Amino acid sequence: MAFRGAHIQVDHVSHAYRRGGPLAIRDMSFDVTPGEALVLVGRSGCGKSTLLQILCGLLHPADGRVLIEGEPVEAPSPDWVMMFQAPSLYPWMTVEQNVALGLRFSGRSREIKSRVPEMLELVELSAFAKRNVQDLSGGQQQRVALARSLAPNPHVLLLDEPLSALDAFTRHALQRDIRRIAAEMGITLVLVTHDIQEAVMMADRALVLSANPGEISAEIGIPIAGERLPNTPEFAAARHELVRAYEAAAGLAMADVDRLETEAAEPLPAARQGRA
């Protein structure tokens, strides 16, 4: 199983959903190095999903560009795959049939026989290969989706809050497993979450985003070696640092709201004077 992580370059990317409308994200620039696990954290509406969709070519930015391995991203590709909160499996198919879909759709059906058992082993579902996906738990279904994403050998795995619908125990197990698998395979991981614990659990580095428009507010390294355990001092320290940056980012957004309200309120006394 030879995977290879890709280098991602985000170069002055801005996006508005309507021409001349409000910017969902403004002038974002950053790199993700091959094999790195980067997390984008920020409260709802700060442009996390918009950015991920731009990274995988589902959305074209109004300004700026994204390069993967030096090439501009123009469209989705099996080399960079996205996982969403809903595992979106085909309920009438077995586990192994679902895992094979990525290969089938990219014209690589000949690899199914060797890759699918490998991927099922990786996500610890070999015993469930012939089962119908409807018989599986939510966490197991998300593992099937992960195996399906990894089967075509992507260089980049993009995750948009993929675990937020799961119970805490299952979520924790998957956080650990996805980090382990991506590290073992050398895949570049870009993860989006509003959950600080999840960010510290999974990433080597965090970009904290502020909202309206979405901008990078802070960059924080999470240099914890080995297995990540929430009850260790280094985990607590990283979480603390990230919470502070997250609050500061939210505070900036609140300051913006205050400023806008002040600006809106200022003309009023003048108007009253005018009438007087």
Residues that bind ligand ADP (CB under 6 A): 17, 24, 42, 44-50
Consecutive H or E run containing 248: helix 233-265
Minimum CB distance to ligand ADP smaller for 22 or for 230: 22
Q: Is 49 in the site for Mg ion (CB under 5 A)?
A: yes
Q: Is the omega angle on the peptide bond into residue 22 within 30 degrees of 0, that is, cis? A: no
What 3-state DSSP class applies to 52?
helix
Instruction: Report in angstroms how near the CB of residue 20 gets to ligand ADP at its nearest.
Output: 13
Q: Where are the beta strands (DSSP E) in the chain?
A: 8-16, 23-32, 37-41, 63-68, 71-72, 80-83, 156-160, 188-193, 205-210, 215-221
Q: Nearest distance from residue 40's CB to ligand ADP, in Å?
A: 8
* Residue 87 interacting partner from ligand ADP, Mg ion, none (CB closer than 5 to 8 Å by kind): none
Tell me how far, at minimum, the Cβ of 89 lies from Mg ion, in Å.
21
Judged by CB under 5 A, does residue 149 bind Mg ion? Answer: no
Count of C-beta atoms within a 10 Å radius of residue 244: 13
Angle at 192 between CA 190 and CA 195, to 5 degrees: 130
Q: What is the end-to-end Cα distance of the chain in Å, rounded? A: 80
Name the binder of 24 from ligand ADP, Mg ion, none, CB < 5-8 A by kind. ligand ADP
Residue closest to Mg ion, measured at CB = 49
50 binds, among Mg ion, ligand ADP, none (CB under 5 to 8 A by kind): ligand ADP
- Residue 45 contact partner, candidates ligand ADP, Mg ion, none, CB within 5 to 8 A by sort of partner: ligand ADP
Task: Tell me which DSSP letter residue 77 carries.
Answer: B
Residue closer to Mg ion (CB basis): 49 or 175: 49
Specify whether the CB–CB gap between 248 and 242 falls below 8 A.
Answer: no
Q: Is 188 in the site for Mg ion (CB under 5 A)?
A: no
Q: Minimal distance in Å, beta carbon 216 to Mg ion?
A: 16
CA distance 178 to 200: 13
Chain length of the chain:
276
Pick 49 or 142: Cβ nearer Mg ion: 49
Compute the least distance from the CB of residue 28 to ligand ADP, in Å. 12
**Sites of contact with Mg ion (CB under 5 A):** 48-49
